[in-house]
């Protein structure tokens, strides 16, 4: 039973319904999934007012507790919540067949005016309601059929389905859900460190792993004065843009100048980028260990540049014992750009500030390095000393969602 007697009716006239995602199909712990998703929803909704959030039969209900909640803001926030496959706004009305018809006519006027076919689907959790679900659907369907001459009923492939739900305190009317963000609730998939540059790729890679339920912390390597304060601001902006999806993000800004200058001074130019990347991996692993993260994430895509060949990835991956996730590895640049636009990071990513990788780029980078030659080039370096200095200089910046 979905009675909720200890709580009052929702304030305001609309509520939000969230349909949960794939844990329904998978063997994942359903309760854990639900609770994680509701906890994430609760945090994401904080800026938009006070809400009551609870789940019944794979639907999560988001109900305003006060009449002044920002429902547009709340709905947009929920459209970016991983774990939700579909969402809709529903309008409350009296538990009366006539009131339900009137609400459907006005609340769904746009959808119903534009469609040719429709059907009505009813559910009642209040079994004392005088009509059965089928009777209610037939009644509402008949009335809407009369009210909208453009509509005919189609039980199998309707363009619009009018959903009616008779619950404890009110009846609710809503249209078909719109697609949600999908994926798994952030936190279900453990924690990882994402290497965030200012480019197009790494924000998309971060987003893809967050979508699989991974809680992220970011590491950014900063090469002042070779890279400008604006370049760092850009990276922080990118992290901020990811927070509606990922929740609050900590960015660990690592001073990288000393390491880069040392490598340039003492190592073969053609190996510079790879040696630098290996330091990135080592330092990221150090950060991961401190925060209990179990993997690293990069925005590498096979063959995109010289440092992203299979041999190069083997060499960079060998610098860490953690798994390195490269969710973009099989994607074309166009696909990455499309995703980047969709998630809202593209316009910031293309701002023309230099990245630490673009300073001291070798003229002829080695595309088929061997681990032996890399290790030989590193033999003369004080790796622990260089790392310690970088790690001690880390600045942590928290971007609130
Ligand atoms: P992006 O668009 O993400 O910058 P890219 O195609 O420019 O990627 P590279 O510059 O070769 O590729 O970097 C490969 C990956 O290494 C990046 O996706 C990112 O994960 C990581 N990386 C590069 N530079 C930095 C940096 N300054 N700080 C943190 N991570 C970095
Ligand atoms: Mg880059």
396 φ, ψ (degrees, to nearest 5): -105, 125
Q: Count of H helices and E strands in the chain?
A: 14, 15
pTM of this structure: 0.92
Is the Cβ atom of 202 under 6 angstroms away from ligand 1?
yes
Distances (CA, A) of 82 to 38, 235, 394: 11, 23, 30
Nearest CA to ligand 1 atom 10: 357
**With 0-12 CB in 10 A as exposed, 13-18 as middle and 19+ as buried, what is 128?**
exposed
The pLDDT value recorded for residue 357 is: 63
- The partner residues of 166 in beta bridges, in order of sequence, read 124, 171
Question: pLDDT tens for residues 270-279?
Answer: 999 999 999 9
Question: pLDDT tens for residues 369-387?
Answer: 899 999 999 998 999 999 9
Residue in the structure block whose two tokens are 């990811």: 242
Among residues 353, 201, 370, 354, which one has the least CA distance to residue 270?
Answer: 370
| Mean pLDDT for the stretch of residues 355-382 | 86
Is the Cβ atom of 328 under 6 angstroms away from ligand 1?
no
User: How far is the centre of ligand 2, averaged over its atoms, from the C-alpha of 401 (Å)?
Assistant: 25
Is the Cβ atom of 345 under 6 angstroms away from ligand 1?
no
Is the Cβ atom of 167 under 6 angstroms away from ligand 1?
no
Q: What does R_g of the chain's alpha carbons equal in angstroms?
A: 26
Question: pLDDT tens for residues 2-39?
Answer: 334 335 556 668 999 999 876 655 556 788 888 999 99
Is the Cβ atom of 199 under 6 angstroms away from ligand 1?
yes
Instruction: Return the ligand number nearest the Cα of 281.
Output: 1
Question: How would you classify residue 250: left for phi > 0, otherwise alpha for psi between -120 and 50, otherwise beta?
Answer: beta
**Alpha-carbon distance 268 to 257, whole Å?**
18
The pLDDT value recorded for residue 1 is: 36
The pLDDT value recorded for residue 33 is: 87
| Mean pLDDT for the stretch of residues 117-138 | 94
User: Which residues are CB-neighbours of 26 under 8 A, at least 6 positions away?
Assistant: none
For the cut 90, the answer to whether the pLDDT of residue 63 exceeds it is yes
- DSSP character at residue 52: E
The pLDDT value recorded for residue 253 is: 98
- The partner residues of 179 in beta bridges, in order of sequence, read 86
Using 50, 70 and 90 to split pLDDT, how confident is the model at 83?
A: very high
Write out the two tokens for 11.
Answer: 């304030």
User: Which residues are CB-neighbours of 209 under 8 A, at least 6 positions away?
Assistant: 189, 192, 194, 216, 297, 325, 327
- The partner residues of 221 in beta bridges, in order of sequence, read 254
CB atoms within 10 A of CB 117: 16
Nearest CA to ligand 1 atom 20: 298
- Which residue among 197, 206, 322, 327 has the greatest number of ligand 1 atoms within 8 angstroms of its CB, and so is best to mutate? 197
Instruction: Return the ligand number nearest the Cα of 309.
Output: 1
The pLDDT value recorded for residue 23 is: 61
Using 50, 70 and 90 to split pLDDT, how confident is the model at 160?
A: very high
Is the Cβ atom of 227 under 6 angstroms away from ligand 1?
no
- For β-strands 215-222 and 51-56, DSSP reports them as unpaired
**Alpha-carbon distance 72 to 159, whole Å?**
24
Using 50, 70 and 90 to split pLDDT, how confident is the model at 351?
A: very high
Is the Cβ atom of 355 under 6 angstroms away from ligand 1?
yes
Q: Which residues of 309-328 are buried (b: 16+ CB within 10 A; e: fewer)?
A: beebbebbbebbebebbbbb
User: How far is the centre of ligand 1, averaged over its atoms, from the C-alpha of 307 (Å)?
Assistant: 10
Is the Cβ atom of 251 under 6 angstroms away from ligand 1?
no
Using 50, 70 and 90 to split pLDDT, how confident is the model at 345?
A: very high
Among residues 324, 72, 70, 355, which one has the least CA distance to residue 220?
Answer: 355
Whether a cis peptide bond, with omega within 30° of 0, leads into 85 is: no
**Alpha-carbon distance 160 to 180, whole Å?**
18
Is the Cβ atom of 34 under 6 angstroms away from ligand 1?
no
| Mean pLDDT for the stretch of residues 73-85 | 97
User: How far is the centre of ligand 2, averaged over its atoms, from the C-alpha of 191 (Å)?
Assistant: 23
Q: What angle do CA 326, 24, 161 make, to 5 degrees?
A: 110
User: Which residues are CB-neighbours of 60 under 8 A, at least 6 positions away?
Assistant: 17, 18, 19, 20, 34, 37, 38, 41, 53, 54, 84
The pLDDT value recorded for residue 10 is: 64
Taking the CA of residue 254 as reference, the ligand 1 atom at the shortest distance is 28
Lowest mean pLDDT among 3-17, 216-230, 239-253, 352-366: 3-17
For the cut 80, the answer to whether the pLDDT of residue 88 exceeds it is yes
- The partner residues of 91 in beta bridges, in order of sequence, read 14, 173
Residue in the structure block whose two tokens are 């319904």: 17
What are the start-end ranges of the H helices in 46-179? 71-78, 97-107, 109-114, 133-147
Measured in Å, how far apart are the chain's first and last C-alpha atoms?
35
For the cut 70, the answer to whether the pLDDT of residue 295 exceeds it is yes
Question: pLDDT tens for residues 181-231?
Answer: 999 999 999 999 999 999 999 999 999 999 999 999 999 999 998 888 999
For the cut 80, the answer to whether the pLDDT of residue 394 exceeds it is yes
Lowest mean pLDDT among 22-36, 153-167, 311-325: 22-36
């Amino acid at each position: 039973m979905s009675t909720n007697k200890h709580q009052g009716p929702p304030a305001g006239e609309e509520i939000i319904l969230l349909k949960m995602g794939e844990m329904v199909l998978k063997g994942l712990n359903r309760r854990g999934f639900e609770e994680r998703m509701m906890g994430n929803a609760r945090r994401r909704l904080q800026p938009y007012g006070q809400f009551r959030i609870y789940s019944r039969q794979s639907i999560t209900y988001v109900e305003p507790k006060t009449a002044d909640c920002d429902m547009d803001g709340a709905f947009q926030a929920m459209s970016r919540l991983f774990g939700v496959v579909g969402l809709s706004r529903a309008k409350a009305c009296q538990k009366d067949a006539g009131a339900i018809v009137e609400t459907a006519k006005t609340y769904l006027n746009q959808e119903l005016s534009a469609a040719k076919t429709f059907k009505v689907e009813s559910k009642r959790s209040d079994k004392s309601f005088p009509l059965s679900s089928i009777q209610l659907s037939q009644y509402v369907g008949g009335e809407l059929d009369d009210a909208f001459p453009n509509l005919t009923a189609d039980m199998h492939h309707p363009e619009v389905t009018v959903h009616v739900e008779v619950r404890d305190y009110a009846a609710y009317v809503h249209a078909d859900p719109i697609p949600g963000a999908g994926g798994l609730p952030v936190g279900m998939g453990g924690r990882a460190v994402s290497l965030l540059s200012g480019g197009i790729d790494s924000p998309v890679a971060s987003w893809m792993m967050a979508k699989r339920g991974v809680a992220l912390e970011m590491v950014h390597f900063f090469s002042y004065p070779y890279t400008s304060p604006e370049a760092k601001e850009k990276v922080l902006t990118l992290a901020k843009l990811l927070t509606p999806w990922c929740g609050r993000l900590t960015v660990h800004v690592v001073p990288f100048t000393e390491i880069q200058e040392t490598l340039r001074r003492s190592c073969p130019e053609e190996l510079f980028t790879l040696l630098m990347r290996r330091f990135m991996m080592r330092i990221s692993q150090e950060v991961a260990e401190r925060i209990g993260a179990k993997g690293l994430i990069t925005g590498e895509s096979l063959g995109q540049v010289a440092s992203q060949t299979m041999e190069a990835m083997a060499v960079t991956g060998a610098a860490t014992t953690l798994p390195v996730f490269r969710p973009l590895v099989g994607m074309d640049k166009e696909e990455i750009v499309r995703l980047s636009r969709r998630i809202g990071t593209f316009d910031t990513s293309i701002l023309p500030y230099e990245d630490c990788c673009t300073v001291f780029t070798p003229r002829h980078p080695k595309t088929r390095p061997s681990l032996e030659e890399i290790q030989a080039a590193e033999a003369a370096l004080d790796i622990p000393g260089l790392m310690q200095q970088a790690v001690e200089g880390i600045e942590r910046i928290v971007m609130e969602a």
